[in-house]
Amino acid sequence: MSITSVLVRFAGLYVVLMALLAIGFAVAGLRANEGVNVAALAGAVIWPCLAFARKNSRSFSGDEKRRVVLGMVGIDLAIQLASGLTFVAVGAMDVQALLTGLAIAVALHAVTIFLLVTLSGRLVARQLARQPGAPAGAAPIAGPNPASPRGPSAP
């Protein structure tokens, strides 16, 4: 799987998950908030990252991780800008409020995306280390406590 495929999957999932959550909240008579947006973001980030690992039997390299994070942040910015411009177009928000909200949201989303891509990589490393025939250096990132009855942690 290529980095482009990861980014296309992210964009599609993000839009679909946000739409489904917005519809679900509207049907339930609730008002969606930033927490709903972050839930959609989390699912849309983790799912393609794990799919990449499953298809390639590895996590992202350093350069690939940088490209994935920057690509996802760019896509997030475009989606947030597009949805914000609809509010500006109907007069529900002024441009200054859009730009301020966009700066804050995208900054927070960038940190969230970075952390979720990193978390996905750690999950993949643990899964690969547990497979039979894993190389000696592929130990899990964190093992049990040395004082635990399960034994000492991996090096």
Per-residue pLDDT reduced to its tens digit, 92-123: 888 998 899 899 989 999 999 999 999 998 88
Q: Which helix (H) or strand (E) segment is 119 a member of?
A: helix 95-130
Q: What is the pTM of this model?
A: 0.77
Does some domain include residue 135?
no
Domain assignment of residue 45, yes or no: yes
Q: Is residue 147 a part of any domain in this protein?
A: no
- Looking at the structure of the chain, the number of domains it has is 1
Q: What do you get for the CA distance between the two ends of the chain, in Å? A: 31
* 3 state DSSP class of 22: helix
Q: Do 116 and 42 meet the contact criterion of CB atoms below 8 Å apart?
A: yes
Q: What is the DSSP string of 29-75?
A: T----HHHHHHHHHHHHHHHHHHHHHHHTS---HHHHHHHHHHHHHH
Q: Does 107 fall in a domain?
A: yes
The domain in which residue 8 lies consists of: 3-130
- Alpha-carbon distance 108 to 120, whole Å? 18
Is residue 140 domain-resident?
Answer: no
pLDDT digits (tens, 9 = 90+) for 12-54: 999 999 889 888 888 888 876 777 788 899 999 999 999 998 8
Calculate the dihedral angle through the C-alpha atoms of 111, 114, 116, 117, rounding to the nearest 10 degrees.
170
pLDDT digit string, tens, across residues 123-153: 888 877 777 765 555 444 333 444 444 444 4
In a domain, residue 118? The reply is: yes
Whether residue 151 is contained in a domain is answered as no
Contact 69, 114 (CB under 8 A): yes
The answer to whether residue 146 sits within a structural domain is no
- Say how many CA atoms lie within 13 Å of 7 toward its Cβ: 17
